[in-house]
């Protein structure tokens, strides 16, 4: 028998691990009703939810749902971890924020006078949500669950996405949840059509789904406006029953919209990569060739002098500002030194006992490259040989690429960039 409804995923703070453990009362409850679930589905979610609603004081059916929710949360955490561990995401750190259910039947709440008060977790408790008390994530998922709109696993994903603690943790690593509904509203019909075809949707359904998407797009903004007017936040908008029924064709639930979203994610991941990744290698090679074969020597010399001067000035200013914090945090200095030696952000993070995100925020290499490149361009723009950069955007783009390439590319022998060398020089002054 599947254990989805009778096994809970909890965090062991001492051992620093996540462990699934059987909940006997949940298991016994299912057995007592002869419920044998092979695989969790929307129907099984609905069935157990209905049982809990009809037996409001019984903790066991809610406990079964809590097990189901804990697994969904754990898988969500694991997925995030697998995808972003290189960015420093830690499965345990994330899980201790998200997996807070220990399987007990009581919820302990510290009241205003500091005393712990216990509440039995049953359907009645969720219905009469206590005033001014924020219930934990796992209960919020069950409390808001609407089996008419989706299964409990999808519902869990949605609520996890909106949880501020998890969002804040992920934002430390510059990771965000993709807003399903915002994404559907932003995407063009052309792209939706391509993804549906690629997903294997047949012609008759294809037309219906395209029509549905267009109708969704046209109604989304107005509905979001109403949501904002009511809740004073843009977060948490979900298509309501009323909204679903107003679509063309009217929808009973979110299934078709979810299908469009699945098709879309399978073909297109949001292209929100850094603009620094727009680097065009062929262009850079072309510049190098140009530089060595055709470029006027004095022009190169003039450019190199400006790069060196501007780099030193910009780095000096940055280090001067950062030095003020070195007394409080010695790792900052170490971080700059390691950078000047040619280490990658990941290596620096390991040596400094910090997360990679901390290093990338301290040494904003690309941004520094930008500042220097602009300083160089301003310094040379009135020189006769560079006058075109003030008139022709193409020439300006080209010269800037050349400067940034000179600054940030790693030299083959030393495995260090020009920028790293300048940082070393300025640190040694």
Tell me which residues touch other proteins (CB under 8 A): 79-80, 83-84, 157, 161, 167, 170-171, 174-180, 182-183, 185-188, 190-191, 199-201, 224-225, 228-229, 233-235, 262-263, 265-276, 278, 360, 366, 370-371, 373-374, 377-378, 381-382, 389-393, 396-397, 400
CB of 182 to other proteins, least distance (A): 6
Q: Nearest distance from residue 313's CB to other proteins, in Å?
A: 9
As measured in angstroms, the least distance from the Cβ of 152 to other proteins is: 16
For other proteins, the closer CB: 55 or 370:
370
Q: Which two tokens stand for residue 122?
A: 């049953």
* Shortest separation between residue 235's beta carbon and other proteins, angstroms: 6
Distance CA 315, CA 369 (A): 10
Encode 58-89: b = buried (16+ Cβ within 10 Å), e = exposed.
bbbbbbbbbbbbbbbbbebbeebbeebeebbb
Instruction: Decide if 335 contacts 349 (C-beta within 8 A).
Output: no
Whether 244 contacts 251, CB under 8 Å? yes
Residue 117 vs 225, nearer CB to other proteins: 225
The pair of structure tokens assigned to 6 is: 């009778």
Residues 402, 308: Cα–Cα separation, whole Å: 14
Neighbours of 348 (CB within 10 A): 24
CB-based contact 143:135 (threshold 8 Å): yes
Residue with tokens 């780099």: 311
Report the residue number, 333 or 381, with the smaller CB distance to other proteins: 381
Q: What is the C-alpha separation between 143 and 134, in angstroms, rounded?
A: 12
Q: Which is nearer to other proteins, 4 or 306 (CB)?
A: 306
Local structure of 361: helix, strand or coil: helix
Judged by CB, which is closer to other proteins: 119, or 398? 398
Smaller CB distance to other proteins: residue 86 or 115?
Answer: 86
Tokens 């006769």 sit at which residue? 384
Question: Shortest gap between Cβ of 372 and other proteins (angstroms)?
Answer: 12
* Pairwise CA distance, residues 357 & 366, whole Å: 14
Shortest distance, CB of residue 75 to other proteins, whole angstroms? 11
Cα–Cα–Cα angle for 257, 40, 53, rounded to 5 degrees: 85
Q: How far is the CB of 69 from other proteins (least distance, A)?
A: 17
Minimum CB separation of residue 97 from other proteins in Å reads 15
CB of 425 to other proteins, least distance (A): 16
For residue 78, give Cα distances in angstroms to 43, 85, 89, 92, 97.
25, 10, 10, 10, 13
Is residue 96 within 8 A of residue 18, CB to CB? The reply is: no
User: C-alpha 219: how far from its chain's center?
Assistant: 27
Query: In the complex with other proteins, which residue's Cβ is closer, 23 or 380?
Result: 380
Nearer to other proteins among residue 1 and residue 182 (C-beta): 182
Q: Which is nearer to other proteins, 139 or 185 (CB)?
A: 185
Question: 162: which residues sit within 8 A by CB, 6+ positions away?
Answer: 235, 236
Q: To the nearest whole angstrom, how small is the minimum distance from the Cβ of residue 183 to other proteins?
A: 4
Strands 17-22 and 106-110: unpaired
80-83 long-range contacts, CB within 8 A, separation 24+: 80/170, 80/175
- Of 19 and 276, nearer to other proteins (C-beta) is 276
User: 43-54: string of b/e by CB count within 10 Å (b at 16+)?
Assistant: ebbeebbebbee
Helix (H) or strand (E) holding 106: strand 106-110
The least distance separating other proteins from the CB of residue 202, rounded to whole angstroms, comes to 9
């Amino acid at each position: 028998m599947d254990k989805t409804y009778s096994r809970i995923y909890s965090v062991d703070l001492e051992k620093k691990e996540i462990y699934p453990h059987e909940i006997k009362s949940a298991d016994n409850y299912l057995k007592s009703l002869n419920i044998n679930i092979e695989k969790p589905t929307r129907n099984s979610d609905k069935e157990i939810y209905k049982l809990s609603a009809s037996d409001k004081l019984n903790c066991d059916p809610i406990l079964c749902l809590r097990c189901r929710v804990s697994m969904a949360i754990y898988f969500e955490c694991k997925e995030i971890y697998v995808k972003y561990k290189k960015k420093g995401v830690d499965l345990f750190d994330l899980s201790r924020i998200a997996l807070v259910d220990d399987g007990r039947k009581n919820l302990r709440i510290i009241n205003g006078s500091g005393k712990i008060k216990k509440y039995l977790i049953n359907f009645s408790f969720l219905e009469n949500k206590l005033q001014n008390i924020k219930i934990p994530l796992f209960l919020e998922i069950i409390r808001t669950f609407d089996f008419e709109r989706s299964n409990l696993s999808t519902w869990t994903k949605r609520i996890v996405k909106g949880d501020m603690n998890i969002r804040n943790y992920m934002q430390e690593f510059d990771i965000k949840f993709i807003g399903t509904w915002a994404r559907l509203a932003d995407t063009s019909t052309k792209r939706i059509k391509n993804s549906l075809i690629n997903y294997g949707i047949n012609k008759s359904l294809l037309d219906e789904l395209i029509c549905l998407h267009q109708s969704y797009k046209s109604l989304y903004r107005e509905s979001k406006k109403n949501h904002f007017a009511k809740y004073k936040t843009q977060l948490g908008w979900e298509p309501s029953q009323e909204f679903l029924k107003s679509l063309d064709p009217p929808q009973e639930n979110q299934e078709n919209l979810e299908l469009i979203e699945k098709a879309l994610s399978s073909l297109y991941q949001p292209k929100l990569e850094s603009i620094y990744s727009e680097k065009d290698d062929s262009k850079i090679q072309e510049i190098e060739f140009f530089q060595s074969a055709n470029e006027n020597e004095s022009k190169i010399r003039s450019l190199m002098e400006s790069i060196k001067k501007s780099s030193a000035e910009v780095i000096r200013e940055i280090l001067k500002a950062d030095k003020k914090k070195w007394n409080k945090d010695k790792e900052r200095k170490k971080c700059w030194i390691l950078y000047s030696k040619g280490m990658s952000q990941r290596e620096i993070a390991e040596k400094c006992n910090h997360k990679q995100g901390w290093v990338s925020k301290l040494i904003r290499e690309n941004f520094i490259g930008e500042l220097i490149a602009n300083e160089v361009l301003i310094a040379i723009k009135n020189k006769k040989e560079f006058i075109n950069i003030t008139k022709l955007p193409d020439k300006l783009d080209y010269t800037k690429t050349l400067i940034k390439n000179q600054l940030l590319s790693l030299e083959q022998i030393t495995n260090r960039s020009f920028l790293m060398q300048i940082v070393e020089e300025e640190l040694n002054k």
